[in-house]
Structure 1
């Protein structure tokens, strides 16, 4: 910004100020400020003084600078789930940060496991698994004939970096958040007498005393666990299920269906002849 000459691009009259005086230079200065905003750099007093001396207060660079000074201070601490700055580059640390942000149950325990603990595993990598006591109770309450699904990969973004994660899900026969959007105009949805107190800034007693299991009962299924692996391969997910069986014995009796597609590193076919076969597990893969 200091390359621009002083007092060269300042408008001399109201017409010059209103007709976008020296458009190429103003556009270049705005691009510099946009790059600063993209990298989280807020203009200081020296930058503000410099812009006023070069373009005056009747210019696009000054409007951009003033807006950055106002809004960047407003949003600096607005996120209730702050991330470290800078973000760690290690995938394991990113997975721990992502799962801590996604798990809304305060009792959730996040464990770092290794697939090397599983006999016959082919993909030697780490597994970050998150499961709460209420989710383990939900697993134990499933019938022996139930089928659970390993869904994914899904993307979660941590600033400019993304991470793949997977969920262990069971079918929810009674969706608690079901809503018929086709009948949105009927009296049931227009009744305002049952608005919870939490809408007005107070905690609703029924929500405070509600069982912790309710937050895991989603409209598309019951979330039983969530995990991220170092390679996102099918073999690492199979090892994750086997590791979950230590704390969820009911999983040994359930059918497990892997619904993921296009796994990036699936190495069990290339190493199948070199390693002993893993113990049997009632699993199915669907594409």
Structure 2
């Protein structure tokens, strides 16, 4: 402000000096133009300068008053910002409260949903436990006097128990094809959606043998018909590339594998069902195609086929088993004794066991070259399975042969141009490695085989007596029995093979007779 006042004072002084000089002229020199237009101009300029100075002074005053106004506006602005911040905080708090209430409500809803899901799971578990009643259980019938077998009961729901009780009261057996198919129909009728069909099919496959329907192609087709159709068919390339519905496809393969194990050839109905259920590009359909390819080629490869239904006559069954073991079409089967009932002198009823033997021409020739001073052995019983039937057999064998007796030397002068023996092993290659050790067990030659109804020494003695008619060398050869006490599987009711003999020579269980 002081600089401004000095400037204004200097300006006014300059104006005054110019005005005075214009009126009076230089100092001490009077002007000739003391009056006139030029003096008026000087006065106007001075007045203008005065006005300009007053305007500058007023502007300076206004500039001094402006900071106070700015400070007051800044204070009011700060106050408004605090209020806005408080309002924002209040809104955020209210929004947070609303979110917490909303999350609490959602948690309550989730808890209710979880409780409902748990209840549904418990209900489904109870349903599955009821569905597990589809598994056929075997009930023991040891207390019944009219049967020696175990009965299998079918249970699905409570009303099916009532139906089974009604069927039992009517005198019908529970282990029949009709009972099996009735359970399948009940499963399809009770649940149209076929829920649990995979477990039901697996349970049915396990129980088919108990009901005697494991060789019925119609029952297998009925099991495949349980599986929903059109649901498991792949619709695009990705589904066909990957295993579409693997558990359901494996269930269909299990049905076909059981058919294959029992030698059943799928028919046209099986093919139609597989196409409707899985499609032509599925694993079950490929399994079906492979069965159709290999079954006809393998059907007649066995020169000694076993019939599907084994004969009930033990003599016929023994002849079939001995023919398969002999593996020689020239083998001779001899029935030395058939099973029959006899009355002794003291009036007791005695059942004579059957005796069936077999001997090939090679075995007969080998026995004729046997040295009489070396004993032969009757060993058994040994086990043989014909499908699901277990039979026992006995063999007449000798001691292991010496190397020169096993492979007699060939006369080199029998042929001068074509040798009779070549030491060439065409099955070996340069990369084959046979460094592992193989322990070979030396066994003596087998001279004859037999199957008997009762495996005691007396019954086997009758077999040797009949075998001696065609092999006179047995009359001069010592015979040692090596028998084990095992029940016979051919005699109904389970007769017993004879016990061990007296230990007169060799180890325990051996007896020497001539």
Evaluate the alpha carbon distance shift between residue 144 and residue 123 of structure 1 in structure 2; reply closer, same or farther with a 3 A threshold.
Answer: farther
Alpha-carbon distance between aligned partners in 2 of 1:25 and 1:83, rounded to the nearest angstrom: 34
Q: 2:388 aligns with which of 157, 160, 175?
A: 160
Question: How much is the aligned-residue C-alpha RMSD, in angstroms?
Answer: 3.5
Shift of 1:132: 4.0
Q: Does 1:20 align with 2:243?
A: yes
Evaluate the alpha carbon distance shift between residue 268 and residue 140 of structure 1 in structure 2; reply closer, same or farther with a 3 A threshold.
Answer: same
SS of 2:486 mapped into structure 1: coil
Shift of 1:71: 1.4
Give the TM-score of the pair, scaled to structure 1. 0.70
Evaluate the alpha carbon distance shift between residue 283 and residue 168 of structure 1 in structure 2; reply closer, same or farther with a 3 A threshold.
Answer: farther
| Residues 241-285 of structure 1: per-residue CA shift (max 9 Å, x gap) | 23323333432332211123233314689xxxxxxxxxxxx9878
Give the TM-score of the pair, scaled to structure 2. 0.41
8 Å contact from structure 2 (residues 455, 498) kept in 1: no
Evaluate the alpha carbon distance shift between residue 285 and residue 94 of structure 1 in structure 2; reply closer, same or farther with a 3 A threshold.
Answer: farther
Evaluate the alpha carbon distance shift between residue 28 and residue 135 of structure 1 in structure 2; reply closer, same or farther with a 3 A threshold.
Answer: closer
Alpha-carbon distance between aligned partners in 1 of 2:338 and 2:309, rounded to the nearest angstrom: 29
For residue 131 of structure 1, what is the aligned residue in structure 2? 359
SS of 1:97 mapped into structure 2: helix
Shift of 1:238: 2.7
For residue 475 of structure 2, what is the aligned residue in structure 1? 252
When the two structures are aligned, how many residues end up with a matched partner? 240
For structure 2, the 5+ residue unaligned runs are 1-223, 345-349, 408-420, 428-440, 488-495, 510-514
Evaluate the alpha carbon distance shift between residue 177 and residue 16 of structure 1 in structure 2; reply closer, same or farther with a 3 A threshold.
Answer: farther
Q: Does 1:236 align with 2:459?
A: yes
Shift of 1:139: 3.6
Q: Does 1:39 align with 2:265?
A: no
Evaluate the alpha carbon distance shift between residue 257 and residue 166 of structure 1 in structure 2; reply closer, same or farther with a 3 A threshold.
Answer: same
For structure 1, the 5+ residue unaligned runs are 179-191, 200-217, 270-281
8 Å contact from structure 2 (residues 484, 498) kept in 1: no
Q: 1:169 aligns with which of 397, 415, 440?
A: 397
SS of 1:66 mapped into structure 2: helix
Instruction: Pick the structure with more strand per residue.
Output: 1
Q: Does 1:71 align with 2:294?
A: yes
Q: Does 1:144 align with 2:372?
A: yes
Evaluate the alpha carbon distance shift between residue 101 and residue 6 of structure 1 in structure 2; reply closer, same or farther with a 3 A threshold.
Answer: same
Alpha-carbon distance between aligned partners in 1 of 2:406 and 2:468, rounded to the nearest angstrom: 30
Shift of 1:94: 1.3
Shift of 1:39: 1.9
| Residues 41-66 of structure 1: per-residue CA shift (max 9 Å, x gap) | 11123311221121112322112211
SS of 1:29 mapped into structure 2: helix
8 Å contact from structure 1 (residues 92, 230) kept in 2: no
SS of 2:225 mapped into structure 1: coil
After TM superposition, the structure 1 stretch with the greater mean CA deviation from structure 2, 55-64 or 9-18, is 9-18
Q: What pairs up with 1:204-215 in 2 under 5 angstroms?
A: none
SS of 2:390 mapped into structure 1: strand
For residue 9 of structure 1, what is the aligned residue in structure 2? 232
| Residues 108-144 of structure 1: per-residue CA shift (max 9 Å, x gap) | 3211112889x9xx87201111124554454444333
For residue 332 of structure 2, what is the aligned residue in structure 1? 109
8 Å contact from structure 2 (residues 396, 446) kept in 1: yes
Q: What pairs up with 1:261-276 in 2 under 5 angstroms?
A: 261-264=484-487, 265-266=496-497
| Residues 203-261 of structure 1: per-residue CA shift (max 9 Å, x gap) | xxxxxxxxxxxxxxx96222221111123334322332233233334323322111232
8 Å contact from structure 1 (residues 123, 267) kept in 2: no
